[in-house]
Chain A
């Protein structure tokens, strides 16, 4: 499967970001990032419910993380 140009650009951005040690904050500047709402998976139950609904009703699924197995709905 050919990877579209857009995806190549984002991968490039991500690799640049990881290579650039000037991006980021000092350890004591993480007070905003420490807020529960700022976690990447802030609401796991909501996310699990949404993933289940969209897995049952749409052809694409997941991508966020793993977690569980399937159901008989698709």
Chain B
């Protein structure tokens, strides 16, 4: 049994934080910008203190780097990679990873099995490069045997994955990083803050001059639809289906896959943006909505959260 990765608080495990650049923005706001999780990230502060912005910008960047290093499936030294390599042996997870697994389990239940962190293996069959290559059903069936959260033996803190199964925190990781970064930065400063990692954002309160002005870019070949929102508190997340797709026989296959069938979800919106109390929660509504395809708006209306859908 292996213990996977170090827990937060372990000084040796922190990767180097990315470089942070300070920019002056309109309305007296300062932005600390950096690149993490394959996205442009920024921390906006309602302050005139550039040195404070640099200092706590580094905190936010450091937390983003830590979470990326720990949970990215692309990094061979991450906890997720260690789990995915475990080949049927039992892995002991630290408290933070265990909490994320518990959250994924609860989301699996709330979505009646649509949200499934084991569904990533289906990527091996589907290459969304705009071509018309749709995989054979037998290929999909073979991979479906490795999909299913209820196949995981999860008794906190011990996880056992059957050989060949994989997990990843897509739909959770970036949004969780936003919430964690804000919590850390808030503890070190008392001005209005907004953490934005590539469009998934969270703020503690609005600046003195008025609400944060947020522009959600939703490029599409047919229309340029730019959503302008005034944000005062809480989280905002956006999911999109515009860039990666296949077209075959006039049918468009978006890249969101239904883990129960192994096929792309039919008629998912091009873009959905949801506001909620935290970025994690907002992101999960987006994911649920995309997975519900044609029923996205109905799901979000029944849930009673503010949302904006583009089809």
Contacts and interface: CB of A to CB of B under 8 A. Distances in A.
Interface of A: 26-29
12 contacts: A26-B105, A26-B150, A27-B105, A27-B154, A27-B155, A27-B156, A28-B102, A28-B105, A28-B106, A28-B109, A28-B154, A29-B109
Interface of B: 102, 105-106, 109, 150, 154-156
Main secondary structure of the interface of A (DSSP, over half): helix
A32 B106 CA distance: 14
Nearest to B102: A28
Contacts of B150: 26
Contacts of B155: 27
Which 4 residue pairs are nearest across A and B when measured between Cβ atoms?
A28-B105, A27-B154, A27-B155, A26-B150
Nearest to B108: A28
A29 B150 CA distance: 11
B99 to A, nearest CB: 12
A27 B149 CA distance: 11
A27 B156 CA distance: 9
A26 B108 CA distance: 12
Given A26-B105, A27-B155, A28-B154, 9 more contacts: A26-B150, A27-B105, A27-B154, A27-B156, A28-B102, A28-B105, A28-B106, A28-B109, A29-B109
A28 B154 CA distance: 8
Contacts of B102: 28
A41 to B, nearest CB: 21
A29 B106 CA distance: 9
Contacts of A26: 105, 150
A26 B105 CA distance: 10
A69 B2 CA distance: 43
B159 to A, nearest CB: 10
A28 B106 CA distance: 7
Centre residue among A26, A27, A28, A29 by max chain B CB count within 10 A: A28
Contacts of A28: 102, 105-106, 109, 154
